[in-house]
């Protein structure tokens, strides 16, 4: 039968895959594929991608800490019983959430406004900031995933 821990870890892993996988696709596959597109088309497409992807990221941002803390306190008996890999995941996860929240409330809002006004150079500048933050979060997300998967074997 399913336990609360097995359900929590399933949701936790699903949320991480959605968020990190989405960043990987956007950064490694989609971004280079759009390099030849004209700025109005490229920036409008990114606007649509973000509008569809960011709700999933918000779900992940909510699910990951809820399930993570749930597992820490039900499975490990608190942070004292958790291995160093759990503490590292906690730190990098909070950093990733902070970076995403900044991305969403600052450059993304500016990007949306600039695209709406067809101010393409301004939108491109905001998109570049978003690209940098996504690149950092992608690296953190990949490292966090490896730590989470391998940490219990250290």
Q: How far apart, in Å, are the Cα atoms of 98 and each of 90, 91, 133?
A: 12, 11, 11
Question: What is the average per-residue pLDDT within 45-64?
Answer: 98
Q: Which of 35, 39, 147, 38 is nearest to 95 (CA)?
A: 147
For the beta carbon of residue 47, count every other beta carbon within 10 angstroms: 18
Is residue 2 very low, low, confident or very high in pLDDT (cuts 50, 70, 90)? confident
Predicted confidence at residue 135, as pLDDT, reads 98
| Size of the chain in residues | 154
Predicted confidence at residue 1, as pLDDT, reads 74
Contact predicate 47/112, CB 8 Å: yes
Render pLDDT for 92-113 as a digit per residue (tens, 0 to 9).
Answer: 999 999 999 999 999 999 999 9
Stated pTM of the model? 0.96
State how many domains the chain has. Answer: 1
Render pLDDT for 115-131 as a digit per residue (tens, 0 to 9).
Answer: 999 999 999 999 999 99
* Dihedral sign from CA coordinates of 101, 103, 58, 135: negative
Pairwise CA distance, residues 30 & 61, whole Å: 23
Predicted confidence at residue 4, as pLDDT, reads 87
**Structural domain boundaries enclosing 62:** 4-33+41-153
């Amino acid at each position: 039968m399913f336990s609360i821990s097995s359900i929590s870890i399933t949701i936790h892993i699903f949320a991480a895959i959605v968020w990190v996988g989405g960043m990987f696709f956007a950064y490694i596959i989609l971004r280079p594929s759009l390099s030849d597109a004209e700025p109005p088309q490229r920036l409008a497409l990114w606007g649509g991608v973000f509008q569809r992807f960011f709700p999933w990221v918000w779900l992940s941002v909510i699910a990951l800490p809820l399930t993570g803390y749930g597992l820490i306190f039900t499975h490990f008996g608190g942070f004292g019983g958790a291995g160093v890999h759990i503490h590292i995941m906690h730190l990098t996860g909070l950093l990733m959430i902070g970076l995403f929240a900044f991305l969403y409330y600052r450059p993304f809002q500016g990007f949306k406004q600039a695209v709406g006004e067809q101010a393409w150079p301004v939108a491109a500048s905001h998109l570049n900031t978003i690209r940098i933050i996504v690149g950092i979060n992608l690296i953190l997300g990949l490292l966090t995933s490896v730590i989470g998967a391998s940490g219990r074997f250290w």
